[in-house]
Amino acid sequence: MSKTSNPRPNPDSVNEQMAEDKQALSDMYPALAEQKPQHPIEQAIERYLLSLRNIGQTITIVMPHLQKWQIAEINKCEKKLSHFLPNEGAGPEPHTVQLDSARDFAELTSTLRQLEELHTNKSLPVLARSLFMQMFCEFDAFMGSLLKAVYIKNQELLKGIAKEITLRELFAFRDLDAVKRAMLDKEIETFRRDSYVEQFASLEKKFQITLRKFDEWAEFVELGQRRNVFTHNDGTVSDQYLTVCEREGLQFQSRPLLGSTLQVDAKYFGRALTVMSKVGYMIGHTLWAKVFPGEHDQLHESLNDRLYQALEHKRWKTATELGSFALSDPMRKNASDIQVRVRAINCAIAYKFAGDDASCKRLLNSFDWSASYRDFKLAILVLTDEFDNAVKMMERIGRSGEILEQSSYYTWPLFNKFRERPEFYVTYEKIYGEPYLAQVSTDGKSAMVGVHDTGMRSDTKKAEFQRAKTDKPSFARSDNGTQRQSAATSRSRRKSASAKRVASQEAPSK
Q: Per the domain annotation, does 415 fall within a domain? A: yes
- DSSP secondary structure of 461-506: E--EEEE-------SS--TTSSPPEEEE-S--S-TT--SPP----P
Q: Per the domain annotation, does 325 fall within a domain? A: no
Whether 450 shows a pLDDT value over 50: the answer reads no
Domain tally, the chain: 1
Q: Per the domain annotation, does 443 fall within a domain? A: yes
Chain-centre distance of CA 183, in angstroms?
33
Contact yes or no for 154/291 (Cβ under 8 A): yes
The residues pairing with 455 across neighbouring beta strands, listed in sequence order, are: 452
pLDDT digit string, tens, across residues 114-142: 888 888 888 899 999 999 999 999 999 99
Q: Give the pLDDT of residue 169.
A: 73
239-247 and 217-233 helices cross at what angle (nearest 10)?
170
Q: Per the domain annotation, does 334 fall within a domain? A: no
The conformation of residue 208, written as its DSSP 8-state character, comes to: T
Q: Per the domain annotation, does 331 fall within a domain? A: no
- Mean pLDDT, residues 64-88: 83
Q: Per the domain annotation, does 39 fall within a domain? A: no
How far apart (Å, rounded) are the C-alpha atoms in residues 284 and 287?
5
Q: What is the mean pLDDT of the chain?
A: 82
- Residue 175's SS3 state is coil
- Mean pLDDT, residues 249-264: 95
Q: Give the pLDDT of residue 12.
A: 57
Q: Per the domain annotation, does 483 fall within a domain? A: yes
- Mean pLDDT, residues 182-189: 85
- Residue 273's SS3 state is helix
Contact yes or no for 250/222 (Cβ under 8 A): yes
Alpha carbon separation from 199 to 188, 253, 443 (Å, rounded): 11, 27, 52
pLDDT digit string, tens, across residues 387-444: 999 999 999 999 988 999 999 999 999 999 999 999 999 999 999 999 997 655 545 5
pLDDT digit string, tens, across residues 24-45: 656 665 555 556 788 999 999 9
Q: Per the domain annotation, does 447 fall within a domain? A: yes
The percentage of residues in the chain with a pLDDT greater than 70, rounded to a whole number, is 76
Of the candidates 203, 199, 197, the one whose C-alpha atom is nearest the C-alpha of residue 243 is 197
217-233 and 196-207 helices cross at what angle (nearest 10)?
140
Per the model's pLDDT, the better-predicted residue between 488 and 329 turns out to be 329
Phi and psi at 318, nearest 5°, equal -60, -40
How far apart (Å, rounded) are the C-alpha atoms in residues 139 and 48?
7
How far apart (Å, rounded) are the C-alpha atoms in residues 89 and 93?
9
pLDDT digit string, tens, across residues 470-489: 456 677 766 444 433 333 33
Contacts of 290 (CB under 8 A, 6+ apart): 207, 208, 209
Residue type, 58: T
Of the candidates 412, 402, 399, the one whose C-alpha atom is nearest the C-alpha of residue 353 is 412
pLDDT band at 10, cuts 50/70/90? low
Tell me the whole-structure pTM to 2 decimals.
0.78
Contact yes or no for 189/183 (Cβ under 8 A): no
How far apart (Å, rounded) are the C-alpha atoms in residues 231 and 129?
10
* Domain span holding position 430: 406-510
How far apart (Å, rounded) are the C-alpha atoms in residues 317 and 341?
20
Q: Give the pLDDT of residue 442.
A: 47
Q: Give the pLDDT of residue 248.
A: 96
Phi and psi at 440, nearest 5°, equal -115, 120
